Each structure stands twice: as structure tokens, then as C-alpha cells.
Amino acid sequence: MLGGRNTITLFTVGGIRIAVDWSWFIVLFLVIFWLNGFYESLPAAETSAIGPFILAVLSAIGFFGSILLHELGHAVVAMRNGIGITSIRLWIFGGVAEMDRESDSPGTEFKVAAAGPAVTAAIAVVLVAIGTAFSGSSAFSNALMFRVDSGASGLMAMVAWLAAVNVIVLFFNLLPAYPMDGGRIARSIAWKITGSRGTATRFAAILGMVFGYGFIGLGVLLALTGAVFSGVWLALIGILVIGAARAAKSQTRFAEQLEGITVGDVMDPSPVVMPSEISAEQALDQYFLRYGWSWFPVSGSDGRFLGMVERDAVDAVDEVARSGTQVSELVDSDSVGFHIRADAPLDSMLGNPDIRRFGAMMVTDPSGRLTGVITVEQLGRALGEAV
């Protein structure tokens, strides 16, 4: 979704970068500030062991952990369904698990969207169970209402606060306001019923916009009645939801116009290919100096794509050793996967991060033989014609 680019990486779990936006610290600061006051108002005997401030800090950490687990829920299910997760980012409006592509079926979409709320619900259930076990059901249910005279200990008041916050997060996330989780779930159901992702996205986007305007209206109302921070926060979420819903709508129109166009329709079918068995000297004379390009695709004697060779790699070979060095030794091993099938739909190139590195992708047939090259310019031209 949206958000600032200035993030701080906290740690990585299972290859996923966990990052926080500077705006997330506002959330933590407010949580600690508000809860410190709340815990201070509890009877001193209840908090004396730990102290209100430590309780407030622990609450903030628990809140952070809850949101992170929610996003990890989305991430784990996405990865199980073959969708890559590049990072999880937390910011003032919650968390975002960045996926490298969209779900390809309504079932996957549903599972990925529902996984986060399922985790949040599980956290709430566990916390309520812990609180009830330690304080008794009547004291804990009073603590859930943030009553200072609940009789629950400070620690259990914290558990109650975390449980209540998770319930609020769950409720809010399940509103069918695309791109929030509930909106994604609504989209997956509409997709399943209509059989069309485009129709479903348009439906979810309209629903998202209705909720977005609702959030703004409610936010203004809240702000006018004194809850300024909550009101402004809700109105800003409304603006974000409307923006994201609009973007989803126009992206759908775009994807529909590209429908039926494949990589093969747009690619250059006669690329200049460097044979792997020539020497570095020949590569320089016959390719790099002749064409002036900074890279070439390399193919083996059977025509299979082996990867890319860059000018820098050839230049780095000592001049006297160039005639005795084969191009196959200079192929960039990371670039072996930089190819796509000619029959792949063109819109599958849009989210492909590999094309950025060389500004092009190699096109191969099912046996791995090079059949073409598609460049960013060709892709851009095709997109321009489609709009």
C-alpha cells in the first residue's frame, strides 16, 4: 500500500525484512503516554511491583508484537501459496506485508487476506483466557472495559488492554473497506461468484470508497466532538482507502486492456546473442566494442540461455589472459534466472523486479533456448498503446 520510504530495518525473520516507518514511533509514543496515565490511575497496590511506566512500555511492545504477528500471518500464508514477501513494514496506520505479486485465484486471495485477522483473533482469545485464569472472569471483564477499580493486577490490566486492542484491530480490519483485509475478503468472494477478478476488484473498490468517505465523515465528527487525534487519524485512513481503491480500479482497467497480449507479441525476436565458447578478447572486439552495449545474453552451443555477461566482467580480465578466458566463465551467475517465457502474459512483466537490473528480460522457449529479448522501452511502448 502507501507510506513513506524512510524505513528502519529492525530485523529479518525467515528472509522477510521487518521495518518500521518513522511514523510508527508516534504510535508507540502515544501508547506509552496514554497508558502511563491509565496505569498511574490504578490503585497503587496493583502496579507497585512493576510500576506504571514499565507497564506502559510493555504494553507498547505487546501492541507492536500483535501487529507484527498479524502481518506474519498474511506473509506465511502468502508464501505457502507461492507469493513472495519482500518486507513487512509498520507505520502509523498499522502494518503492511509487501507481496511481490497478486493472488492468482479467489481461494488464495481469501486465505491470505483472512490469515491476518485469524492471528489477531487467536491473540485476543489467548489473552482473554490468560486474564480470566489469573484474575477471575468478573474482574477481568471489568479490566477489559478499562475500569480502574476492576481489582485485576497491573499486569492483568495490561493483558486486558492488549486483548481489547486486538479485538478493535480485528473489528476494524474486517470492515469491507478495500484494501483493508475485510475488503480483500469481500473481493475474493465476489471474484469466486463472478469468476472475474476485474469485476470483483471494481466492486471491492466501490465498497472501499464508500467506507473511505464514511471514515472521513466519522473522523471529522470525532474531531469536532473533542477526540481530535482519533478523528484526524480515521479521516486520514479514509483518504488512504479512497486513494488505494481508486488505484486498484484503474489498475484493473489497465490489466484488462493488456489481456491477451503476450511477451512474444512485443519482444525483439532476433536479439544479438553471444556464444559461450568465444574468448573474452573476441567478446570485446566482436560484441562490446562493435555494438557499444554494456551487456549481452549468452547462449550455449545448444542455444540454451546461460545468463548475462557484462562489459565490466570482461574488462576486469587481465589483458594477457583475455584470449585464454572463455565467456562462459564470465557469465553473471545471478542472471541465470533473468528470462521469461514468450507465452507469458505481458502484464506479468509489470511487477517483475528483475527487468530493472538490465532494463531487459531474455525470452526463452520451453526448452530454455533464447528466442528473444524484451526491453523496458518495448514494454513501455506496448503499455502506452494499450491505454
Q: Which one, 21 or 181, has the nearer CB to Zn ion?
A: 181
- Contact present, 231 and 222 (Cβ < 8 Å): yes
Separation between Cα atoms, residue 173 and residue 109, nearest integer Å: 15
- Which of 52, 62, 106, 116: binder of Zn ion (CB under 5 A)? 116
Q: How far is the CB of 170 from Zn ion (least distance, A)?
A: 10
Distance (Å) of CA 20 to CA 10, 33, 68, 80, 94 = 7, 20, 10, 24, 10
Q: Judged by CB, which is closer to Zn ion: 123, or 317?
A: 123
Please give the C-alpha separations between residue 9 and each of 58, 76, 96, 223, in angstroms, as whole numbers.
Answer: 21, 19, 14, 33
Stretch that binds Zn ion, among 33-41, 115-123, 303-311, 330-338 (CB under 5 A): 115-123
Stretch that binds Zn ion, among 180-188, 223-231, 239-247, 351-359 (CB under 5 A): 180-188
Q: Give the nearer residue to Zn ion in terms of CB position, either 175 or 263.
A: 175
The nearest distance, CB 374 to Zn ion, in angstroms, is 35
Q: Which is nearer to Zn ion, 116 or 372 (CB)?
A: 116
- 93/295 with CB nearer Zn ion: 93
Residue 347 contacts Zn ion per CB under 5 A:
no
Stretches 28-36, 109-117, 185-193, 281-289: which one binds Zn ion (CB under 5 A)? 109-117
Return the residue nearest Zn ion (CB atom): 116
116 vs 183, beta carbon nearer Zn ion: 116
Q: Is 109 in the site for Zn ion (CB under 5 A)?
A: no
Residue 73 lies near Zn ion (rule: CB under 5 A): no
Determine the longest span between alpha carbons in the chain, in angstroms: 86
Which span sits near Zn ion by CB under 5 A: 108-116, 149-157, 205-213, 299-307? 108-116
* Separation of alpha carbons 162 and 52, rounded Å: 15
Smallest gap from Cβ 1 to Zn ion, in A, equals: 10
297 binds Zn ion (CB under 5 A): no
Question: Least distance from C-beta 351 to Zn ion, angstroms?
Answer: 20
Q: Which is nearer to Zn ion, 71 or 347 (CB)?
A: 71
Our CB check for Zn ion shows the closer of 109 and 181 to be 181
Listed ranges 112-120, 184-192, 246-254, 348-356: which one lies at the site for Zn ion (CB under 5 A): 112-120
Residue 297 CB, nearest distance to Zn ion (Å)?
41
Interface with Zn ion (CB under 5 A), residue from 109, 181, 310, 347 = 181
Least distance from C-beta 172 to Zn ion, angstroms? 10
- Binding positions for Zn ion, rule: CB under 5 A: 116, 181
